[in-house]
Structure formats: structure tokens, C-alpha cells
Amino acid sequence: MIAAIGAVAANGVLGLDNWLPWDIPEELAWFEKQVAGAALVIGRLTYESMDAVPPDSFIVSRQADLALRPGCHRVSSVEEGLRRALATGKPVFVIGGASIYAAAWPYCRYFYLTRIERDFAGDTRFPEEIPLASWQLRSERVEHYRERKTGIVVACRFLQYEQASPRLPNAG
Ligand SMILES: NC(=O)c1ccc[n+]([C@@H]2O[C@H](COP(=O)([O-])OP(=O)(O)OC[C@H]3O[C@@H](n4cnc5c(N)ncnc54)[C@H](OP(=O)(O)O)[C@@H]3O)[C@@H](O)[C@H]2O)c1
């Protein structure tokens, strides 16, 4: 099973200064709970922004000599990352960033997307080409949390989309 997970603001933004544009601990806790025990496929910039990365993390980078923390493996393409993550036998989660979602979505059965119903300043956008509107919406739940930087309560809409026939990452 391959799934992607992420969060996006109402104006399509998902990143700022190589971190999240918002500070919503409850949303982050939900993300951590979903991916616990999974093998992760992560873009190199997102990986570098993370304080802790679990074992069986596959970091997508074109840099052959990239030095990584223990338990992390460099892969040279998203497809290689997905194949190697699947080979662990664990559930596989693609956790971003934008460039990795854009390449990985055809292989994902599920996309767990939190829509944060407010605009935020940002420098990285959720890829518009991901056709979630044509995926089946499996579940939807709305919670209200206080965003720590603004002090404003925001609605977080937790959505689970399912794609009927995801592609298999090719061998090779
Ligand atoms: N809101 C959310 O849910 C969420 C989730 C994750 C990340 N983010 C945010 O998103 C931002 C980062 O996203 P991003 O798109 O700029 O960076 P990214 O996807 O995290 O990493 C980009 C890097 O991945 C490697 N890469 C990407 N595509 C590749 C390919 N096809 N083949 C080989 N390597 C490839 C390259 O590494 P090299 O340069 O080493 O070759 C590239 O520089 C940050 O602000 C982060 O906090 C948000």
C-alpha cells in the first residue's frame, strides 16, 4: 500500500522557508500518528528540514554523495524510493515535499490531505496537476485548532482520497 500525506492552505501553499507555513501542533501530531511504523519516501529538502527521521526512510536526491543519518537511504528517483520502501514490507507513505508529491501521486492508492481553510504566506505550492477531484473521497472530518503564529483558530479538514487504479512503480 502506497499513500501520500500532506497539508495545504486555502491558497494552495504548503511550504515556507523550508518548513510549514503554519504552526498547528495537533495537525502535526495527526501526521506523525498516521506515518508511525511506515517506510517513508521523502524529498531531500523536506528531509533536511526534519529534526528526526525514522528508520526505513528513502530520501530522493540526485546527489550521489549525499550524506544521510542512520536508517536513511538515498534513492535517485521517486520510483526507486517507492520500490525500496515497498520491499521493507511496511506501509509506505510519501510525505513530500511538493516535487515528490508531483512525481509520486500516480502510484498512490490513498492521499491523506489536510485542507487548512485559511490563506498563508508561502514559497512552495501543492502541485495543481494532482487530479484529486477525480479520486473518491473516502472520509472527511473537520476540526478547529489554534494556529500558534497568528493565534487564530483555523478549520482543518482531514480528507482521505482513494485512487481506483494506481500505477505500479516499474522495476529497474
Ligand atoms: N504541507 C506539507 O504537508 C508539507 C510536506 C512536506 C514538505 N513540505 C514543505 O515543502 C517544502 C519542500 O518542498 P520542495 O518541493 O521544495 O522540496 P522536496 O520535494 O522536499 O525536495 C526537493 C529535492 O528532492 C530531490 N528531487 C526532487 N525530485 C527528484 C527527482 N525526480 N529525482 C531525483 N531527485 C529529486 C532533489 O534533491 P537534490 O537537490 O539533492 O538532487 C530536490 O532538490 C518545504 O517548505 C517543506 O516544509 C510541506
- What domains sit in the chain, N to C, each tagged with a CATH number? 2-162 (3.40.430.10)
What average pLDDT does this structure show over 19-31?
Answer: 98
How much is the average pLDDT of 80-94?
Answer: 98
* Ligand 1 centroid to residue 17 C-alpha, Å: 12
* Long-range contact set of residues 79-85: C-beta below 8 Å, sequence gap at least 24: 79/107, 79/169, 79/170, 80/169, 81/41, 82/2, 82/41, 82/107, 82/169, 83/169, 83/171, 84/58, 85/2, 85/39, 85/40, 85/41, 85/56, 85/58
Residue carrying the nine cell digits 491523506: 112
What average pLDDT does this structure show over 145-155?
A: 98
Distance 91 CA to ligand 1 centre (A): 21
Residue range 113-128: mean pLDDT, rounded: 98
Ligand 1 neighbour 45 (Cβ under 6 A): yes
pLDDT, tens only, 47-67: 999 999 999 999 999 999 999
pLDDT tens track for 151-160: 999 999 999 9
pLDDT band for 172, please (50, 70, 90 cuts): low
What's the pLDDT score for residue 70?
Answer: 93
Mean pLDDT across the chain, nearest whole number? 97
Out of 11, 22, 50, 62, mutate this one to test ligand 1's pocket (max ligand atoms within 8 Å of CB): namely 62
